[in-house]
Amino acid sequence: MTRYNFHTHSQFDDGKEPLENYVAASIEKGLDALGFSAHVPLPLDNQWSLPAKDFPDYVAEVKKLKEQYKDQIKLFLGLEIDYIPGVSEDFEGWMKNTPLDYCIGSVHLVREPESGKFWFIDGPAEGYFKGVEEVFGGDIRKAVTTFYQQSIQMVKTQPLHIIGHMDKVKMHNKEKLFRQSESWYVELIDSLLKAIKEKGVIIELNTRGVYTGKTTEYFPSPFVLERCLHFGIPVMVNTDAHHPSQLDSHFDEGVTLLKDIGFKKMTTPFFEVEI
């Protein structure tokens, strides 16, 4: 079976090693394809994104590695682009004006429409719960609804190939504030899936939350993947690696889950894989 990973982060953003170390580890682990997906430069202070001044060096390094390792592994240049209404740049500009092969669209910062305040869903759990209180007045349903509305807006208005960790809003919840079985939550999931289906976007089964111990379920949850199969939405497995050792973390387990649900293939932006 063809093995790959299209969701990775290196020293250029919030990862831990140079790009070439990821290539070497991918070859050692038997991967056939590797995509680099640094967090897009953002016009606000943060600790995770690629600095704008380093973007040319990132592109040049990937181009060099593509040529250097062309006989050993297929390499692809990508970005994980944050969608933040009124803040982030349109994805189209990145895709048209740079030599990107693909992009992952993700929501990490949820913008409350009226106040403009941000809820960061991806940091420590304390910040997650504090944000629900300070940004949404403790209304978890409003907070989660805003996350999914922002995700739906991203899918409908931006050109993207893969949607990253589409239900990451559940990461710190662990059923403390809401249950995924609640009808309002399921309706939000279905609304997002409808938009994804209409735009032909690929959903990744993202394994990072499980192998880092932050969640007990992959992104998205099994019931969401079952709906993907029902609606005919393409899926793939990515590990969201922040270190070369994580390039295949839970990849095989993710594939097994897809097979158990009933998927016959995985779809990447460049090829399909029979499973």
pLDDT in tens, 194-237: 999 999 999 999 999 999 999 999 999 999 999 999 999 999 99
pLDDT at 176: 85
Q: What are phi and psi for residue 8, nearest 5 degrees?
A: -140, 155
The stretches of the chain forming alpha helices (DSSP H) are: 19-29, 55-68, 91-97, 125-136, 140-157, 183-199, 208-211, 222-231, 251-261
Spatial distance between the Cα atoms of 106 and 93, rounded to a whole number of angstroms? 16
User: Which among 162, 211, 163, 238 is positioned nearest to 7, based on CA atoms?
Assistant: 238
Pull the structure tokens for residue 59.
Answer: 């592109």
Residue 235 burial by Cβ neighbours in a 10 Å radius (0-12, 13-18, 19+): buried
Residue matched to tokens 């929501």: 107
- On whether the CB atoms of residues 135 and 128 are closer than 8 A, the answer is no
Look at the domain 4-274 and name its fold: TIM Barrel (3.20.20)
Domain ranges of the chain: 4-274
Q: What tens digit of pLDDT does each residue of 164-189 get?
A: 999 999 999 987 899 999 999 999 99
Pull the structure tokens for residue 181.
Answer: 């079985």
Q: What tens digit of pLDDT does each residue of 15-72 get?
A: 999 999 999 999 999 999 999 999 999 999 898 999 999 999 999 999 999 999 999 9
Read off the pLDDT band of 76 (50, 70, 90). very high
Q: What tens digit of pLDDT does each residue of 98-157 get?
A: 999 999 999 999 999 999 999 999 989 999 999 999 999 999 999 999 999 999 999 999
- On whether the CB atoms of residues 117 and 52 are closer than 8 A, the answer is no
Angle at 159 between CA 13 and CA 254, to 5 degrees: 65
Share of the chain above pLDDT 90, in %: 98
